[in-house]
Amino acid sequence: MERTLSLIKPDGVARNLIGEVIKRFETAGIKIVAMKKLHLSRKQAEGFYAVHKERPFFNSLMEFMTSGPIVAMVLEGEDVIAHNRKLMGATNFKEAEEGTIRRDYATDIEKNVVHGSDAPETAAFEISYFFNSMEIVG
Ligand code: ATP
Ligand code: MG
């Protein structure tokens, strides 16, 4: 069964949306096989988003991602990488489909409530960034 990494970003945690996001995953038949709350340091956030380090929004993204606690989860299910991306909606909430998490809750292109891995390789890297094998309970 496929796995992916999901993050509830600092805006989602601060706005008490943890339960709402989890409810959407469970309702969709996705299983949560690992979960923790943590507050990223600048170095940890930079390591996670290293692929974006040349982008103009990188510094702002780092400020945002370290601004408060996040919730990290490993999701499991059939085609869960694509399924989760569909539930999240487009990066820019104005372009996100109706009924998606970002369409319903994002307030800004940056403050878009959730992160989800976008491919099998990034999922493997991102899961191992937050969890060791003992912390994942299938
Ligand atoms: P994520 O990787 O967080 O799941 P994504 O894959 O939909 O989101 P990316 O292109 O990987 O989008 O961008 C990573 C994050 O950087 C976005 O979710 C958003 O928080 C921020 N971001 C992306 N594009 C912009 C932008 N043009 N201006 C400001 N922030 C942006
Ligand atoms: Mg991305």
36-76 per-position pLDDT tens digit: 999 999 999 999 999 999 999 999 999 999 999 999 999 99
Predicted TM-score (pTM) of this structure:
0.95
Q: 122: Cβ below 6 Å to ligand 1?
A: no
d(CA 4, CA 46): 20
Q: Which fold has domain 2-130?
A: Alpha-Beta Plaits (3.30.70)
Q: Which of the ligands is closest to the CA of residue 52?
A: 1
Q: Hey, where are the domains in the chain?
A: 2-130
d(CA 37, CA 105): 20
* Segments of the chain assigned E as strands: 2-8, 31-38, 70-77, 114-116
d(CA 5, CA 85): 11
75-129 pLDDT per residue, tens: 999 999 999 999 999 999 999 999 999 999 999 999 999 999 999 999 999 999 9
Q: 110: Cβ below 6 Å to ligand 1?
A: yes
pLDDT at 34: 98
Q: 57: Cβ below 6 Å to ligand 1?
A: yes
Binding residues for ATP: 9, 57, 85, 91, 102, 112
